[in-house]
Amino acid sequence: MSDFPFGFSNRDDDPERKPGDESSGSGANNPFGFATGGPGGGGFDPSQLGQMLTQLGAMFSSMGQPGAQTGPVNYDIAKRLARQQLGSSVPPVSSGAQSAVADAAHLAELWLDAATTFPAGATKTVAWTANDWIEETLPTWKRLCDPVAEQVSGMWTATLPAEAKEFAAPMFGMLGQMGGLAFGSQLGQALGQLAK
């Protein structure tokens, strides 16, 4: 039978395949045809898949533990993912960088004093490392993200019919935790990029 369904074909009798052409990623070591790294390989990296599954396992294992983060966003996961993006070596802020930040803030204050009637809002100037920035700005991110995440997670259950709500009531807690994990992982990716 030469007409295989759903786009499958026997690679040995494919008329468009040239002898010795293994660029499609198929072969004895790759029976499903997934392309792996390298030129023209599609960019699939098995080590990244392993890291992703490890992170997913860590998220699921922390779900039922006492003292685990509850709420619309899992900020523990967000901090962990953001710090993973930064890597293990974040250099400390040098004294030269600290004075440069203080000078830049002072210059901005001088310019704003002449351009606006508002009083200066800053009382001190601090230079942070990327890890410090994640830690110090997290309370503000909580104030910004919690209302949005609560509305989105509330919409999952608000649109269900009454019969479905009664049937799925035991699962709502798990859905809330899964939503918190999803929001936390998205926030962690964004914070890691911003911190860089």
pLDDT, tens digit, 9 for 90 and up, residues 74-127: 899 899 889 988 888 888 889 999 999 999 999 988 888 888 888 877 788 889
The domain of 106 spans 94-127
- The answer to whether residue 66 scores a pLDDT higher than 70 is no
Give percent of the chain above pLDDT 90. 22
Residues 170 and 120 in one domain: no
Whether 76 and 137 map to the same domain: the answer is yes
DSSP 164-180: HHHHHGGGHHHHHHHHH
For residues 167 and 135, state if they share a domain: yes
Q: Is residue 34 part of a domain?
A: no
Q: Which pTM was predicted? A: 0.58
Please give the angle made by the CA atoms of 31, 36 and 38, to the nearest 5 degrees: 140
What's the pLDDT at 102?
Answer: 92
Residue 33 pLDDT more than 70? no
Note whether 110 and 166 are same-domain residues: no
In a domain, 31, yes or no: no
Give me the pLDDT at residue 142, please: 94
Separation of alpha carbons 174 and 185, rounded Å: 16
What is the model's pLDDT at position 123? 81
β-partners of residue 30 are 27
147 and 117 in a single domain? The answer is no
Q: Do residue 134 and residue 122 come from a single domain?
A: no
> Chain-wide mean pLDDT for the chain?
75
Number of domains in the chain: 2
